[in-house]
Amino acid sequence: MQSALFKKIIAFKTQLNSCILGQEELIESVLVGIFAQGHILLSSVPGLAKSTLAQSIAKSLNLSFKRIQFTPDLIPSDILGAQIYNPAINQLQIHLGPIFANVVLADEINRAPAKVQSALLEAMQEKQVTLGNDSYLLPQPFVVVATANPIESQGVYVLPEAQLDRFMLCIHLEYPSSESEIKILKNMHTKRPDTLLDSYDLELIKKHIENIYVEESLYKYIVDLAQATRKQVSLKGIDSCLQLGVSPRASIDLLKASQAFALLQDRDYLIPSDVLRVLPLVFSHRILLGFEAKSMGISAQDILQEIIALTPIP
């Protein structure tokens, strides 16, 4: 990588760490998704600076940012926009919705009904929006950072597998340590982040990621890990823990995320530890556990640990 660009990346990462205290691993994971230009699902209880993180990233990258608060009464046009009749000119006019931004924060996405979720699905996958008979391309880069509260069960809708599969990464946020929380209290009035990278830099980073060298054995390793989720895994005396494994899209996302992580380590080649670092972020939300496994308290993380242990590392 060009050293000047990597210095910018380090400065960008350092600035985010100063804006969001005590969440260094989270920020590194989010940067993997941003640089690979994949959508990100943040799962946590309220108050862990998810909105602040998304805003800080957009500001640091000089990208447009929109926040959409998902509620049960939301309708697709609230997100996508609509054709509205203007009697003054006797014509339909297009009003673009908040989805037309580089970084879109979909706050509490699991509060939206299925009709809204399916509308968001086209935007996430096709990077375009259909209004009436016309399609409108979304600005590039386009990244959805969605949040979901895993604790609440009232007034929420389960995200369908098709939508979960559109998220490159699912990141579970943890509470900060005592030391980090003290720093948060002392630095509540942190200044707004400076612009350190731009869309041109992001395009350069994307090209560097695509050019990260991958040995043939690592391609096979990624496929072996994906294939293992489609077979039955035995844990705690249960022979069939899995109801559904990951799709080929997950294999592609695992490769891209691994390459992005390698770039963050200032390497132009992939190693197995890169794959293992991002594997839980890419696969955990795509694995569907069987009822018996859930009743025994088995998690997707448990399944992945077993798969890692059983899959030979090249």
17-37 confidence digits (pLDDT tens): 887 877 888 899 999 999 999
Query: Residue 227: its pLDDT value, please?
Result: 92
Query: Residue 160: its pLDDT value, please?
Result: 80
127-139 mean pLDDT: 88
Single pTM value for the model: 0.90
Residue 239 pLDDT level (bands cut at 50, 70, 90): low
Residue ranges, comma separated, of all CATH 3.40.50.300 domains in the chain are 1-185
Name residues whose C-beta falls within 8 Å of residue 30's C-beta, 6 or more positions apart in sequence: 40, 42, 53, 57, 145, 169, 171
CATH class of 1-185: alpha beta
Residue 159 pLDDT level (bands cut at 50, 70, 90): confident
Residue ranges, comma separated, of all CATH 1.10.8.80 domains in the chain are 212-310
Query: Residue 220: its pLDDT value, please?
Result: 96
- Bigger pLDDT: 151 or 265? 265
Q: Percentage of the chain with pLDDT > 90? A: 41
- The superfamily (CATH) of domain 212-310 is Magnesium chelatase subunit I, C-Terminal domain (1.10.8.80)
111-124 mean pLDDT: 84
153, pLDDT greater than 60: no
Query: Residue 188: its pLDDT value, please?
Result: 67
When mean pLDDT is compared across 73-87, 176-190, 196-210, the lowest value belongs to 176-190
CA 162 to chain centre: 15
